[in-house]
Amino acid sequence: MALRLVQVKDEGGARRVAQVADDGSAQLVTGVASTYDLVQRALGAGQGLEAALRDLGTDGAIDLGAALAAGRVLAPIDHPDAAHLHLTGTGLTHLGSAEGRDKMHKAAAAAEKPTDSMRMFQMGVEGGKPADGGVGVQPEWFYKGDGTALVAPGAPLTSPGFAEDGGEEPEIAGIYVIDADGNPVRLGFALANEFSDHVTEKQNYLWLAHSKLRPAAVGPELLVGPLPADVRGASRIKRGGDTVWEKPFLSGEANMSHHVANLEHHHFKYPQFRRPGDVHVHFFGTATLSFSDGFRTEPGDVFEIEAAPFTLKLSNPLAQADDAGPARVRAL
- State the number of CA atoms in the 13 A half-sphere of 50 facing the CB: 7
Residues of the chain with pLDDT under 50: 98, 101, 104-105, 107-111
* pLDDT score, position 101: 46
Q: What is the Cα 309 distance to its own chain's centre?
A: 16
- Note whether 151 and 216 are within 8 A (CB): yes
pLDDT value for 125: 73
Question: What's the Cα-to-Cα distance from 128 to each of 122, 136, 195, 217, 264, rounded to whole Å?
Answer: 9, 5, 24, 27, 12
If we measure between CA atoms, which residue out of 86, 195, 82 comes closest to residue 148? 82
Helix ranges (DSSP H) in the chain: 35-45, 49-56, 64-69, 97-106, 116-127, 198-203, 208-212, 260-268
pLDDT of residue 129: 75
d(CA 292, CA 100): 5
pLDDT at 131: 82
